[in-house]
Structure 1
Amino acid sequence: MNRPRRTALITGITGQDGSHLAELLLGKGYEVHGIVRRSSTISGNSRLDGIYQPPHTPDQQLFLHYGDITDASMLTNVIRDIQPDEVYNLAAQSHVHVSFQIPDYTGNVDALGTIRLLEAVRASDCGARFYQASTSELFGSTPPPQNEESPFHPRSPYGVAKLYSYWAVVNYREAYGLHASNGILFNHEGPRRGETFVTRKITRAVARIAAGIQDAVYMGNLNAVRDWGYAPEYVEGMWRMLQHDTPDDYVLATGEGATVRDFVEVAFGHAGLEWEKYVRHDSGQERPAEVDALIGDASKAKRILGWEAKTHWRDLAKLMVDADRQLLDDQLSGRTVHAEHH
């Protein structure tokens, strides 16, 4: 069957990584399909606003399908119908702290969801290459630096569910010969990051405090060390994994760690603010089991895939502050934004 272009399926396409990946693939001439959950609001697909219009032209390249990673029959039907060359599983309940509150749901989506998608790919016999969004949270309490050979010790229901998915991918690769790879991505951020994730929570608070419409931000553990990179660079790493002839598992990371306090200091400082005046401690935002330090070693990805992170976390913090300040300016010029204190 001759095709004018390669076809990719992305679960989680409306998230930070999914939207960046869709843009990357469209730029490479792919036909891109994404699975989106039905929502009663119209803001759920906002990250795709710049690239998605409902199909109405012969050269349409982006198509969205209603569905959910918990619906096996839907996944099977979509893969049968579109016969993708590449499948990227980015769908997840991806908030670590929240996973302690909804562990059952997190397991259903993050663990069993991967099995459903792998099985749909296997049963369709479409020959698709499969990418699984693994996470540095697999390492948990394992001391840094962490690489592909480091032992796993997840410290949250999220990490445990993602560990199931990691081994499911390895199993389907070994048992069925699927071209299936795990991307063990360390923290990667940007202006499209969800507002409840710590980096975006910080930069959004900086914008609002600088504008005089928020008086403080409440934080949990400021001593946690993370390896923060820039999301658009990381989705290119995902793509490179599926272009390599041999499926494998790769860490993507910058190799440099910083504390949450470091990120706070740079973000507030970029707006000319002294962070100590505005940051309050909230023990309710600390995890029952903390992950103290995640710093990745991505030398394998550099050696085999030619991938390496380029944006330093300090520059990342500044660009996110600039983006949130611009976003707030745009909002204030068009409508009223109510004051928030958390």
Structure 2
Amino acid sequence: MPTALITGITGQDGLYLAELLLAKGYDVHGVIRGQNNPRRELVERLVPDVRLHNGDLTDLSSLMRALRESQPDEVYNLGAVSFVAYSWENAFVTSDVTAIGVLNLLEAVRLHCGDDPSSVRFYQASSSEMFGKVQETPQRESTLLWPRSPYGVSKVYGHYMTINYRESYGMHASSGILFNHESPRRGEEFVTRKVSKAVAAIKLGMQDELVMGNLDARRDWGFAGDYVDAMWRMLQQPEADDYVIATGETHTIEELVRVAFAHVGIDDWKRYVRQDPAFMRPAEVDELIGDASKAREVLGWEPTVRFEELVAMMVDADVAALKAGW
């Protein structure tokens, strides 16, 4: 039975990945920050077979302890301060966790492995936000990185540090450059979930309007459940490498809003939507679209959920949740 250790297990990716690995027969462990973490109960309910360890990406000793207690074959670093808008307000915290936290975990794994640096396989969750002011369309593994937020800059640091540990120490360390991936488990602060929940509430008469920022930004949106499969596939390869994971399709935020409203039978969506400059980014990333050719060819990976299906899935889940709570 292989063993895996996941940081960021309380997030949507961590939960989907834990489910995937458990289904494959893994012994799954998760690092969770704080004994009173409000999402611990969610993890224990959805993936009760996961063994949890208290730890923090900013605390090297806690990571060493989690590695010693779990003895993993694979480590997936999904932990981060991942809300882009938050990163401008809290650049130091974002950098400590999302950038230096990667270094801490890489170093912990290196020390844990001792004389056999590739004995534990390492996955780093890189991000399409690293491309920022895009220099090439679509974006691929070789595209110049030009981040436009403290979050993006932090992800670039972690990405290159992962490459450096692979090249310097011979670690089996891979990065997945994941484009936007969503699900009903997405946090409500993210635009996709903000839209799906608001549309559900408006349909049920519980909310009057949806307040948005930039509706013209274009994103490559996929399903988180598909993307964690790509993570696992990377660590099954004989050689570590970096891969773009994306659908290759791009949609505007306005399309997201329109499709969500249409799914609940509301065609005149504009009467419910108001734009507010307070929700505009200081430095916007206008368009992201990924070229996942390498992942298709090497990993045999393909997305299975289309954009319209993803939006419908999220809206339906929020309608059901609001009805249950109502």
Q: TM-score, normalised by structure 1?
A: 0.91
Residues 1:81 and 2:69 aligned together: yes
The 1-side partners of 2:64 and 2:31 are apart by: 12
Deviation for aligned residue 1:47: 4.9
Aligned counterpart for 1:194 among listed residues 187, 195, 204: 187
Deviation for aligned residue 1:81: 2.5
Q: What residue number does 2:101 align with? A: 113
Deviation for aligned residue 1:39: 5.7
Q: What residue number does 1:328 align with? A: 322
Residues 1:13 and 2:9 aligned together: yes
User: Which AA in structure 2 matches 1:174?
Assistant: E
Q: How does 1:236-255 map to 2 (within 5 A)?
A: 236-255=229-248
User: Which AA in structure 1 matches 2:58?
Assistant: T
2:10–2:39 CA contact under 8 A, matched in 1: no
Unaligned runs of 5+ in 2: none
The 1-side partners of 2:38 and 2:290 are apart by: 37
1:137–1:159 CA contact under 8 A, matched in 2: yes
The 2-side partners of 1:236 and 1:75 are apart by: 24
The 2-side partners of 1:63 and 1:166 are apart by: 27
Q: What residue number does 2:306 align with? A: 312
1:16–1:47 CA contact under 8 A, matched in 2: no
1:15–1:47 CA contact under 8 A, matched in 2: no
Aligned counterpart for 2:277 among listed residues 272, 277, 283: 283
**CA spacing shift, 1:258–1:33, aligned 2, 3 Å:** same
Q: What residue number does 2:129 align with? A: 137
The 2-side partners of 1:252 and 1:212 are apart by: 38
1:14–1:45 CA contact under 8 A, matched in 2: no
The 3-state SS of whatever aligns with 1:133 is strand
Worse-matched range after superposition: 231-240 or 141-150: 141-150
1:47–1:192 CA contact under 8 A, matched in 2: no
Aligned counterpart for 1:62 among listed residues 18, 28, 50: 50
Q: What residue number does 2:254 align with? A: 261
Show structure 1 runs of 4+ deviating over 2 A: 39-45
User: Which AA in structure 2 matches 1:276?
Assistant: K
Q: What residue number does 2:20 align with? A: 24
Worse-matched range after superposition: 174-183 or 64-73: 64-73
User: Which AA in structure 2 matches 1:292?
Assistant: D
The 3-state SS of whatever aligns with 1:243 is coil
User: Which AA in structure 2 matches 1:111?
Assistant: A
The 3-state SS of whatever aligns with 2:89 is coil
Q: What residue number does 2:173 align with? A: 180
Q: TM-score, normalised by structure 2?
A: 0.96
How many aligned residue pairs are there?
Answer: 320
The 3-state SS of whatever aligns with 2:201 is helix
User: Which AA in structure 2 matches 1:63?
Assistant: R
The 2-side partners of 1:293 and 1:141 are apart by: 9
Deviation for aligned residue 1:80: 2.1
The 3-state SS of whatever aligns with 1:307 is coil
